[in-house]
Amino acid sequence: MARWWELSIPVAGTLAGGGLGAWLQGRNSHRIFKAQAEREDAHRAEEARRAAYGQFRFKAVEAMHAAQDHAESPDGGERARLAKKAQGLVAECFEIHAALVFLSPPEVVRAAAKVGAGLEANPFDMEEVKAAIRAFSAAAREDLGLPELEHEDETDLDQHSDASG
């Protein structure tokens, strides 16, 4: 007849092995879960930056054209309406810029600030604003890890919509 310790040693070994295996599997699962969560957070942050960069550039181009319309318009009610439109679009740019401060590296924030300064400048210098928007686009592309373009599609910078919008 077997003694109690002859039976308890294999049982204890089995329990210890099972416990150790479960602990190692739990550690590995936690490591995988943590790595996946970090990748998802980085992806969400990149998507948020990408969206903010696109919104900022779009609003900056709209504000630039509105400021140009205002600068070229004759005095009167239409000029006041265009001034209000341009001011509203510039304000939207600064709201997006505030979000960029938290989402983006300093280079992109500084480039966006230069766009805002150009939009608020008096007298308005269209070429200065275009150059600032190009610099912002380049900084944003670099932050997102996108390659530089030999010739960026700038039709939105050059096409001017009707002032009645």
> 64 with 131: CB under 8 angstroms?
no
In our burial notation (b when 16+ CB lie closer than 10 A, e otherwise), range 40-50 reads eeeeeeeeebe
pLDDT number for residue 72: 81
pLDDT number for residue 120: 85
CA distance 120 to 58: 17
pLDDT number for residue 9: 84
Which pair of tokens denotes residue 53?
Answer: 């960069």
Axis-axis angle for helices 126-144, 106-120 (nearest 10)? 160
pLDDT number for residue 163: 44
Which pair of tokens denotes residue 119?
Answer: 């939009």
| List of the chain residues with pLDDT < 50 | 163-165
CA distance 91 to 99: 13
Residues 6+ apart with CB under 8 A from 61: 133, 156, 157
